[in-house]
Amino acid sequence: MTHTAPRIILATLNARYIHASLGLRYLLANLDRHGGAGLRAQTLLREYTISRAPQEVVADLLAALGPPQGRVQIIGLGVYIWNVTQTLEVIRQLKTVRPDVKLVLGGPEVSHEVDQQPITALADHVITGWGDVSFAKLCRVLMDGPQPLMKVIPGEQPPLADVTLPYAEYSDADLAHRLLYVEASRGCPFKCEFCLSSLDKTAWAFELDRVLVALDGLYQRGARNFKFVDRTFNLKVAHSVRILQFFLDRLPAADAPPSEQLFLHFEVIPDHLPERLRAMLAQFPPGVLQLEVGVQSFNPAVQHTISRRQDNAATEANLRWLLAHTHAHLHADLIFGLPGETLPSFAEGFDRLLAIGPHEIQLGILKRLRGTPITRHTSAHGMVYDTEPPYTVQHTGVVDAATLQRFARFARYWDLLANSGRYAHTLALLLQHMPQASPFGRFMALSDWLWPHLGATHKLTPEVLVDALFVYLSAHVSPDTVRQALLDDYIASGARANPQALQGLLPRQLPASPRSVRVLASRQDRHREMS
């Protein structure tokens, strides 16, 4: 890396510090290969978070770039649904202070509906789609000429063999403190209309030996946390098995320190779990595997509407097998607000999934991602979306706005009370002993009660929640039973204050929190300890 001022800065605003941008590192790794020797040495990587003040981001970028040099300087920004609002303000300020700097945008948020966005209007160039090759080529012509005539540049999709893998661009600090994103393939053959991957023709696999060599390089440098971003990790089982074996061969000894423990995250399709894959998954010890399972909806009519092919019986059977025969932490997703999905039909799917017993049920609300085919249902199904990111559905032909707001509160309280793993005993009382007819109805009744009593869904302390749960549950269950459940949960959670409902019951010296020191796996650890 040169010690002189760079001519190119690659930057983005991540959701949190723990996330490290895979996309920017691909661009960085491919600069010399596709833009010519010397570009990489003139380039800096800068990552911020969306909580950082835009003026601070601008000041840091311009300080790194240095004063105008009488030659082209470039800032490339990765734009996503979660950072577009903040990035827009960064760009406005950059263009005000340094209009001479060439601003190049890329990423999924600016790859579609380009002419409809204020952020793209301010940019000098926008690369849509794949940027591995196109960004490097654009930088070269901006610096050396001839100047490009097009503002919007369709990204070139090269053979994956021509894409340099980016993993050497992860720093030692990244390996020590951040979740590393890796991939063995791109694309997806399925056509679920709410997902940008539905635009892909197929899935493309990197040459696996090359991927495994790169993963081994990360491992040898000390990496232990790997999040695979493949949309369908278990699509090509022969590849999945080899990747799993790679990590099985590197499992630490049982008495290894926490810093040596592996943490692996894969996204899997739920109705495809052949025996070869089962045999591999069953070999991992507790605390290593997290599987994200996109169920989304159990409603066959809704699945058909959104072009989602899913065998619901196989999905259920596979989830039950994983829970019975592996130590994988199962994180299952459901989406509310899909075309034609009513609250009662969603509730049926929720109850079905809850009865299976995944460790977490992540409840999302449909978002209209730019470019996705879900828009074809707008008129027929009365879909109305927020015009601002993240473009959440506001109401549909069968779900009114008040119900969607009510569900949003339900989802937030579910995350606090169920997915957190902090209230296992108390949640069991709620879901088993309340008078409503179903678990969904029981939790919705709690959510409907919490909202007017607490007036918030965020920044709620464990003590506030304990006291509220005691009041609510004691109206239906013996107060002594409720208090004991809350006491067990509060002590196990490692909380250290003194809720009103537990006055006089907490030991003077609370035991150390049972949670692992591995921040990334803390939720998984809590669920495992309660199972």
- One-letter amino acid at 35 equals G
pLDDT at 414: 98
**Do the Cβ atoms of 375 and 366 come closer than 8 Å?**
no
Q: How far apart are CA 422 and CA 483, in angstroms?
A: 15
Q: What is the pLDDT of residue 528?
A: 60
- How far apart are alpha carbons 340 and 356 in whole angstroms? 24
Token output for 58? 């601008």
Residues 350-375 have pLDDT tens digits of 999 999 999 999 999 999 999 999 99
Distance CA 70, CA 76 (A): 19
Report whether 133 contacts 30 (CB < 8 A): yes
* 518, pLDDT greater than 70: no
pTM, whole model, 2 decimals?
0.92
- If one compares 511 and 119, the residue with the highest pLDDT of the two is 119
- Pick the more confident residue, 509 or 257: 257
Give me the pLDDT at residue 190, please: 87
CA–CA separation, 170 vs 191, rounded Å? 33
Quick one: pLDDT band at residue 262, thresholds 50, 70, 90? very high
Q: Strand, coil or helix: what is 270?
A: coil
Nearest-angstrom CA–CA distance, 407 and 350: 12
Which residue blocks in 1-132 are alpha helix, DSSP H?
22-29, 31-35, 54-65, 84-97, 118-122
Reported confidence tier of residue 510, pLDDT bands at 50, 70, 90: low
Burial of 238 (0-12, 13-18, 19+ CB in 10 A): exposed
pLDDT > 70: what percent of the chain? 95
Q: For 96, how many CA atoms within 13 A lie in the half-sphere containing its CB?
A: 10
Rounded-to-integer distance, Cα 497 and Cα 145, Å: 64
Question: Does position 527 have pLDDT exceeding 70, yes or no?
Answer: no
Burial of 139 (0-12, 13-18, 19+ CB in 10 A): buried
Mean pLDDT of 209-222: 97
What are the tens digits of pLDDT across the range 43-71? 999 999 999 999 999 999 999 999 988 89
Q: How far apart are CA 472 and CA 415, in angstroms?
A: 18
Please report the pLDDT score of residue 522 as a whole number.
62
pLDDT at 188 over 70: yes
* Distance (Å, whole) CA 507 – CA 417: 23
Q: Which of 67-71, 81-85, 389-393, 480-484 has the lowest mean pLDDT?
A: 67-71
Q: Stretch 180-202: mean pLDDT, rounded?
A: 90
Domains of the chain as residue ranges with CATH? 8-159 (3.40.50.2300), 170-370 (3.80.30.20), 422-531 (no CATH)
Has residue 168 got a pLDDT over 50? yes
Q: Determine the length of the chain.
A: 531
Is it the case that residue 142 has pLDDT exceeding 80?
A: yes
pLDDT at 514 over 50: no
Residue 383's closest CA among 419, 414, 337, 336?
Answer: 337
Closest CA to 157 of 126, 186, 123, 197: 186
- pLDDT bin (cut points 50, 70, 90) of residue 189 is confident
Task: Give the pLDDT score at 515.
Answer: 43
Pairing of the two strands 203-205 and 263-268: unpaired
Q: Which two tokens stand for residue 67?
A: 């004063």
Average predicted confidence (pLDDT) for the chain? 93
Mean pLDDT of 481-507: 92
In this model, does residue 453 exceed pLDDT 90? yes
pLDDT of residue 405: 98
Q: Which one-letter amino acid corresponds to residue 530?
A: M
The Cα–Cα gap between 109 and 129 comes to 10
How far is Cα 347 from Cα 523, in angstroms, rounded to an integer?
25
Task: Name the DSSP letter for residue 419.
Answer: I
**pLDDT for residue 279 is more than 80:** yes
Res. 1: pLDDT tops 50: no
Give the integer Cα–Cα distance in Å for 439 and 342: 17
Average pLDDT over residues 393-398: 98
Per-residue confidence (pLDDT) for residue 507, from 0 to 100: 85
User: Is residue 262 within 8 Å of 298, Cβ to Cβ?
Assistant: no
Contact 188, 234 (CB under 8 A): no
Distance of CA 226 to the CA centre of its chain: 13
Helix-then-strand count for the chain, H and E: 19, 16
Identity (one letter) of the amino acid at 60? D
How sure is the predictor about 508, in pLDDT bands with cuts at 50, 70 and 90? confident
Pair type for strands 384-385 and 393-395: antiparallel
